[in-house]
Amino acid sequence: MIQEELKRLGLNEINEGTSTGQNWFSNGEILESYSPADGQLIGKVKASTKEDYEKAIASAQEAFKTWRATPAPLRGEIVRQFGEKLRAYKADLGKLVSYEMGKSYQEGLGEVQEMIDICDFAVGQSRQLYGLTMHSERPGHRMYEQYHPLGIVGVISAFNFPVAVWSWNAALAWVCGDVVVWKPSEKTPLCGVACQKIIQEVLKENNLPEGISVLINGDYKIGELMSKDTRVPLVSATGSTRMGKIVAQEVAARLGKSLLELGGNNAIIVTPDSDLKMTVIGAVFGAVGTAGQRCTSTRRLIIHESIYDKVKDAIVAAYGQLRIGNPLDQNNHVGPLIDKDAVNTYLAALDKVKEQGGNIVVEGGVLEGAGYESGCYVKPAIAEVKNELEIVQHETFAPILYLIKYSGDVENAIELQNGVAQGLSSAIMTNNLREAEKFLSAAGSDCGIANVNIGTSGAEIGGAFGGEKETGGGRESGSDAWKIYMRRQTNTINYTTNLPLAQGIKFDL
């Protein structure tokens, strides 16, 4: 357990009905949070009912009246203060992320650092919400575009990044003048409560309404309420493609906006001109980091036939050095899956690999014995497969790496890489400039992220994050991703005493 960290985060008294920093208590079913690291109960919170949801929306609506009128640089100052609080709480929050979700402590710290980084980015963005000025065809007229806040931004986040993805959305939405209603994963509710308490500290210290940031714990029913709610103009949802399609249809039915970050089936192409050491590091971390539970995890390794055996042997040897165990022990490389349902999905996928003709190179399985009492620890597995196998075409959120052989030119490898329904992250390992540029061209990778000589896993705050096809097409974090959180308005000002019409139309009275 991590009692001291919970205490410092204000979670030492988490129980049935503990407040999440808001002025009301939730009244729904009890959500129990068990750590996949050791199977221990961390704490309990109550889910939100429909009535609780209405209170949350009402609080957000009222806060929006104040927040939208606050100058953007001042909104940025609040986000800056939030980033400073995160720096102070980094070690404790990082450990909670690790313990409740199961990723390594270093990855937990890295996730909180992503939160800090997006705050820094958003602070600068608060002074750069630029519009455009255009010349009018009518004399004595001026035209320009400006951006205004949308209102309530609904965020539905997934368990694998229980705090970072919310912050990507929230930091930008806040500087844009929006308020945020957040439904974290019911598998990691305490991470959500901890973040809510931190931002509420900042809001209270600045005499700002708590509805600027609202937390609503619960299952898919809360997501359904949010998706159908016309008072929530934008819903940002991260999770499976199946979930994203449901959210997209519900939001589109009311002509709302959705930002979707869904499944990935990410590949690294390994050409004869690749650096073997770099390839092994990128592929192994991409495949086993977070126990294969990243949307950018490496699922497929597409290797040229001339170096296939050499690369395969090196990857298999690296897997033999992996240490699997408690994620709070920094000597371990791989922690547990999130729960036993995830374990069953992993085992079912390995069975399908065998049924569909794949060859298991590194056997998987569930680990048992001392240190593995939670039943959520599994062995990272490797299989030789054909790209067209049904199981390969789908994302399995677990540490299973598929080795695929290609022949001929890099175009053949790119065709294999693009030959799946998902389009999130991709990479090529090569020192051949022509191959690299081909991969990055319009005829190359069809993914939202395309890397050269680094793996598929991970992303920097400065670049827009997201993917194409069944990944959803959304973009979060850096670049001009802020625009999704605002509505664009075109303005025309006539500063004359006449009223000429556009296109030279005459309308004399």
How sure is the predictor about 508, in pLDDT bands with cuts at 50, 70 and 90? confident
Q: Are 266 and 170 in contact (CB under 8 A)?
A: no
Share of the chain above pLDDT 70, in %: 97
Q: Report helix angle 220-228 to 241-253, nearest 10.
A: 30
Q: Average of pLDDT values for 182-211?
A: 97
- Tell me the domains of the chain and their CATH numbers: 3-262+472-489 (3.40.605.10), 266-452 (3.40.309.10)
Rounded Cα distance between 383 and 104, Å, is: 25
DSSP-derived letter for residue 378 is B
Give catalytic residues, as residue numbers.
261
How sure is the predictor about 21, in pLDDT bands with cuts at 50, 70 and 90? low
How sure is the predictor about 459, in pLDDT bands with cuts at 50, 70 and 90? confident
- What pLDDT is recorded for position 233? 98
39: number of CA atoms within 13 Å, CB side?
A: 9
Res 19 pLDDT > 60: no
Q: Which contiguous run of DSSP H or E holds residue 144? A: strand 141-149
Q: Are 129 and 486 in contact (CB under 8 A)?
A: yes
- What pLDDT is recorded for position 502? 86
Q: Average of pLDDT values for 425-448?
A: 98
pLDDT tens by residue, 215-256: 999 999 999 999 999 999 999 999 999 999 999 999 999 999
pLDDT tens by residue, 373-424: 999 999 999 999 999 999 999 999 999 999 999 999 999 999 999 999 999 9
Considering the chain, what is the average pLDDT of its residues? 96
Task: Provide the token pair at 109.
Answer: 């710290």
Q: Average of pLDDT values for 160-174?
A: 98
How sure is the predictor about 13, in pLDDT bands with cuts at 50, 70 and 90? low
User: What pTM did the predictor assign?
Assistant: 0.96
DSSP-derived letter for residue 69 is T
Q: Are 432 and 271 in contact (CB under 8 A)?
A: yes
Q: Average of pLDDT values for 63-86?
A: 98
Q: Average of pLDDT values for 359-383?
A: 97
Q: Is pLDDT larger for residue 220 or for residue 458?
A: 220
- What pLDDT is recorded for position 377? 98
Task: Provide the token pair at 228.
Answer: 């159908």
Q: Which residue has the tokens 């100058």?
A: 71
- What pLDDT is recorded for position 22? 64
Q: Are 9 and 2 in contact (CB under 8 A)?
A: no
Res 509 pLDDT > 90: no
Checking DSSP bridges between strand 468-469 and strand 422-423, what pairing results, if any? antiparallel
